[in-house]
Amino acid sequence: PNGAGKSTTVEILEGYRRRNSGDVRVLGHDPARADAAFRARIGVVLQSAGELGALSVREQLTQFAGFYPHPRDVDEVIAAVGLTEHAGRRVSKLSGGQQRRVDVALGIIGRPEVLFLDEPTTGFDPAARRSFWELIRSLSAEGVTIVLTTHYLDEAAQLADRVGIIAEGRLRALGGVDDVGGASARTPIVRWREGDALRERRTDEPGAVVADLVRRLGGEPPDLQVVRPTLEDVYLDLVADSAASDPAPMEAAR
């Protein structure tokens, strides 16, 4: 949720923000003491961009490419983020979604080993989001480790190998998309309509619950569904639990 601590956590990992306590390692280094060699190995896309200036898309990428020992080809990167037709335009004249693509292009121009993306698809239309997802998949296939924060749970489900859920500044769950939250979070859900109310029940025996409903109601209830909890269901449960309890501190995860 908003204010959970996602951006703060990522900025600490990037070395962009100093931490108050704890230990952090990225590529074997403490980001707070990072040197130029370390920074050349990571790519960063912040939640909001800085001053855009008067440079064109190609000029800005060419300038940034000069900061790295083995940058990607500028025109290949422009094509990868879908801005070939706008390569000669000033970045400041692009739409918000197009400017966000420039941010992503700047993050990958240096061939990073680790790429940090803080809510990169904010402002993207559905088609642009899908195109961006393909870019992320291709970078992952090349061996780039990607740390991505997002409010879009479908995005996390589509892209992530591992998911961490943060609420109230604490790591509530960490795991694969299909098992994050543990076995109890994946208990099947029976949903149905009874009168004017939508009801649901979590159970390890959904067949027995359905049979009981049929007997009690004299037939199959309207809108009957038996579903496995989605990532959104798990997220909502964990966030609700975090608001009602005093959580354990965030643990370091590798």
**Looking at residue 23, which CATH number applies to its domain?**
3.40.50.300
Reply yes or no on whether the pLDDT at 141 is more than 50.
yes
Q: Is 224 helix (H, G, I), strand (E, B) or coil?
A: coil
pLDDT score for 213 = 95
Domain count, the chain: 2
Residues 35 and 84 in one domain: yes
> Quick check: is 35 in a domain?
yes
Reply yes or no on whether the pLDDT at 250 is more than 60.
no
CB 186 within 8 A of CB 176: no
> Quick check: is 170 in a domain?
no
Taking residues 143-158, report their average pLDDT.
91
Percentage above 70 pLDDT, the chain: 91
CA end-to-end span of the chain, whole Å? 23
Across 26-40, 80-94, 228-242, least confident range: 228-242
CB 177 within 8 A of CB 157: yes
Q: Residue 49 — very low, low, confident or very high, per pLDDT cuts 50/70/90?
A: low
- Quickly tell me which residue has 């900025």 as its tokens: 11
CB 158 within 8 A of CB 133: yes
> Quick check: is 168 in a domain?
no
Crossing angle for the helix pair 96-108 and 126-141, to the nearest 10 degrees: 0
Reply yes or no on whether the pLDDT at 176 is more than 90.
no
Q: Which domain holds residue 38?
A: 6-160
Q: Which two tokens stand for residue 59?
A: 């000029």
pLDDT score for 106 = 93
Reply yes or no on whether the pLDDT at 185 is more than 90.
no
Residues 17 and 129 in one domain: yes
pLDDT score for 167 = 81
Q: Residue 50 — very low, low, confident or very high, per pLDDT cuts 50/70/90?
A: low
> Quick check: is 242 in a domain?
no
Query: pTM of the entire structure?
Result: 0.76
Q: Residue 178 — very low, low, confident or very high, per pLDDT cuts 50/70/90?
A: confident
> Quick check: is 38 in a domain?
yes
pLDDT score for 253 = 42
